[in-house]
């Protein structure tokens, strides 16, 4: 039985990116946006155009790049914000202005310092103004779940009459429970009958760990759009996780009677890409995308799964895009075979991108006995989000041991200029990072460092991650990939440095 269609409004690039440690540069946002589009997301909220020149550029570029989905910009309910949002999204195939205004007594009294009459009038006026510019307008009643229901109904009816085609009723602070979420949406459809004739949206935050459950109950209560993020990232405790929502709707159609148009086999690639871009891995037991989501250690579980996977798996690993690490290519493979394998994995590269990726693959094939799909995906993901290289690693030498202080000599090139310096540190990587700081003339602090193996085996690639903090307390993430973990770590630090210079130039 076919259920009602639920639109997926992804705000990974706006709400998700606002959380500490998750900022992305323009190239990374474009890559993530393309992946969301490939996945079939209905609406992508590309950013908050008026918040900064960089955010405006990101929204504008994504609006002009993405062709298969609606591209939205957030805006406060002011003409200045709305004008800036429209300027950013008007080049999209399907633009949307998403304006918001708080409606709860707490927000109106302490944040807005406005009366109910003033809020109602502004909501209607600004929705009408946005509708004159853009054919697709969404209005969000911030802190809707803690608002007076009678007043909220007036706002809903008012903004719909002014031209809003989507009305979002967010649980802004994650206060609701599932039963309350269901009854809230049922009640608002009754108190504001016009809500039945537009898209009714929910946006649940995760302070109590209930965002996914609340969103699903909103669907049962009448919501036809869910606002969410990949991996559940977002401010404070995050948002409802897209992958959990779409698989819950997919697996339990019998309960929710609803479905999305998303390609679920793109879930793992979307999750992994976001983790690689931001450097924030999901916990091992994370639903759907955690590394243990389809792992079985218990003997009883293993026996059951071997007999029939449905004994302990309610969905297949393949349904979310998880595949086995099969050996695919070797050092004697040609470019055509490599390109065909990329297409099988879902990548369609330009000639220039293919040439770069193939060169990286050949170098890796010379170092590794076996090249796996995950190795290739790691290469593509790393190369696709590279920023222009202000500094390039030419060579490094590190001396360390139990009886000597760690010393590093590093050579970096900047254009035609080659600079080599030496420095000491408490360990080999500390010495290398101190030397890089000396070359670039900046005092950077290492906030975090991790290294993971991409695949199994002694010759597995090391995927290094660093977070550096500048003198201005701005954080940048860098990644490095090599079968030599020290080289991967040095490359990750230089990648973060290049992101810093790129961001400061832009």
Q: Would you kindly state where each structural domain of the chain is located, as residue ranges?
A: 4-261, 327-384, 392-505
Of 344 and 304, which is predicted with more confidence? 344
Average pLDDT over residues 286-298: 76
Q: Which residues contact 47 (CB under 8 A, 6 or more apart)?
A: 13, 14, 17, 29, 55, 56, 58, 59, 62, 73, 74, 88
Pairing of strands 43-47, 70-76: parallel
Lowest mean pLDDT among 67-76, 296-305, 461-470: 296-305
pLDDT the model gives residue 68: 97
Chain mean position to CA 372: 25
Q: Which residues contact 238 (CB under 8 A, 6 or more apart)?
A: 16, 19, 205, 206, 211, 229, 232
Average pLDDT over residues 188-196: 98
pLDDT the model gives residue 385: 61
pLDDT the model gives residue 307: 63
* 392-505: CATH superfamily: Alpha-isopropylmalate synthase LeuA, regulatory domain (3.30.160.270)
Q: Count of residues for the chain?
A: 506
Helices and strands counted in the chain (H then E): 17, 18
Fold of 4-261: TIM Barrel (3.20.20)
Look up residue 170 and give its two tokens.
């967010």
> Residues 311-331: pLDDT tens digits?
657 888 889 987 654 545 677
pLDDT the model gives residue 308: 65
Q: In the predicted model, what is the mean pLDDT of the chain? A: 90
Among 357, 399, 378, 347, smallest CA distance to 480 is for: 378
Answer yes or no: are the C-beta atoms of 172 and 144 closer than 8 Å.
Answer: yes
> Residues 224-252: pLDDT tens digits?
999 999 999 998 999 999 999 999 999 99
pLDDT the model gives residue 327: 46
The rounded distance, in Å, linking the Cα atoms of 150 and 391 is 60
Lowest mean pLDDT among 151-155, 337-341, 356-360, 440-444: 337-341
> Residues 159-169: pLDDT tens digits?
999 999 999 99
11-17-13-461 Cα dihedral, nearest 10 degrees: -120
> Residues 375-433: pLDDT tens digits?
887 777 666 667 888 999 999 999 999 889 999 999 999 999 999 999 999 999 999 99
pLDDT the model gives residue 1: 45
Look up residue 68 and give its two tokens.
């298969």
pLDDT the model gives residue 373: 77
The rounded distance, in Å, linking the Cα atoms of 414 and 202 is 49
Answer yes or no: are the C-beta atoms of 282 and 244 closer than 8 Å.
Answer: no
**CA separation (Å) from 402 to 71, 366, 428, 431?**
56, 32, 11, 15
The rounded distance, in Å, linking the Cα atoms of 445 and 487 is 19
pLDDT the model gives residue 325: 47
DSSP one-letter string for 84-116: HHHHHHTTSSSEEEEEEEE-SHHHIIIII---H
In this predicted structure, the answer to whether residue 351 has a pLDDT above a threshold of 50 is yes
User: pLDDT-derived band of residue 3, with 50, 70 and 90 as boundaries?
Assistant: confident
Average pLDDT over residues 102-113: 97
Q: Percent of the chain at pLDDT above 90?
A: 67
Q: Could you tell me which residues are beta bridge partners of residue 423?
A: 408
H-type helices in 368-424, by residue range?
373-384
Q: Percent of the chain at pLDDT above 70?
A: 93
């Amino acid at each position: 039985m076919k259920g009602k269609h639920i639109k997926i409004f992804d705000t990974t690039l706006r709400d998700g990116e606002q959380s500490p440690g998750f900022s992305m540069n323009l190239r990374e946002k474009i890559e993530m946006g393309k992946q969301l589009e490939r996945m079939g997301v209905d609406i992508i909220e590309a950013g908050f155009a008026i918040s900064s020149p960089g955010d405006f550029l990101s929204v504008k570029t994504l609006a002009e790049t993405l062709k298969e989905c609606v591209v939205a910009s957030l805006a406060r309910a002011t003409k200045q914000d709305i004008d800036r949002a429209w300027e950013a999204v008007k080049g999209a195939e399907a633009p949307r202005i998403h304006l918001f205004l708080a409606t709860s007594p707490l927000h109106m009294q302490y944040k807005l310092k406005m009366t109910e009459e003033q809020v109602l009038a502004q909501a209607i006026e600004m929705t009408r103004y946005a509708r004159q510019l853009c054919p697709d307008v969404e209005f969000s009643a911030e802190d809707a779940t803690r608002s007076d229901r009678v007043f909220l109904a007036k706002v809903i009816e008012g903004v719909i009459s002014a031209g809003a085609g989507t009305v979002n009723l967010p649980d802004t602070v994650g206060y609701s429970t599932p039963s309350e979420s269901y009854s809230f949406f049922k009640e608002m459809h009754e108190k504001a009958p016009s809500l039945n004739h537009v898209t009714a949206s929910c946006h649940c935050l995760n302070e109590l760990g209930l965002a996914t459950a609340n969103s699903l109950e909103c669907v049962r209560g009448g919501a036809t759009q869910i606002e969410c993020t990949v991996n559940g990232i977002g401010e404070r405790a995050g948002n409802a996780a897209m992958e959990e929502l779409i698989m819950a709707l997919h697996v339990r159609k019998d309960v929710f009677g609803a479905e999305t148009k998303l390609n679920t086999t793109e879930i793992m690639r979307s999750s992994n890409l976001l983790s690689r871009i931001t450097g924030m891995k999901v916990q091992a037991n994370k639903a759907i995308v955690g590394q243990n989501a389809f792992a079985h250690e218990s003997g009883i579980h293993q026996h059951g799964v071997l007999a029939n996977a449905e004994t302990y798996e309610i969905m297949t690993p393949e349904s979310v895009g998880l595949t086995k690490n099969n050996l695919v290519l070797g050092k004697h493979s040609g470019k055509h075979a490599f390109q065909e394998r990329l297409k099988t994995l879902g990548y369609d590269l330009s000639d220039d991108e293919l040439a770069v990726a193939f060169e990286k693959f050949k170098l890796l094939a010379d170092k590794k006995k076996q090249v796996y799909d995950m190795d290739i995906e790691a290469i593509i993901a790393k190369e696709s989000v590279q920023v222009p290289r202000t500094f390039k690693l030419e060579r490094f030498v590190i001396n360390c041991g139990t009886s000597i202080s760690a010393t590093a000599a590093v050579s970096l090139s900047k254009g035609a200029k080659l600079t080599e310096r030496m420095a000491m540190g408490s360990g080999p990587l500390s010495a290398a990072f101190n030397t890089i700081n000396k070359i670039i003339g900046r005092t950077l602090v290492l906030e975090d460092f991790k290294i993971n193996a991409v695949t199994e085996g002694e010759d597995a690639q090391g995927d290094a991650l660093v977070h550096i903090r500048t003198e201005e307390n701005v954080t940048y993430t860098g990644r490095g990939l090599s079968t030599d973990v020290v080289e991967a770590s040095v490359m990750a630090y230089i990648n973060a440095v290049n992101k810093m210079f790129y961001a400061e130039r832009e």
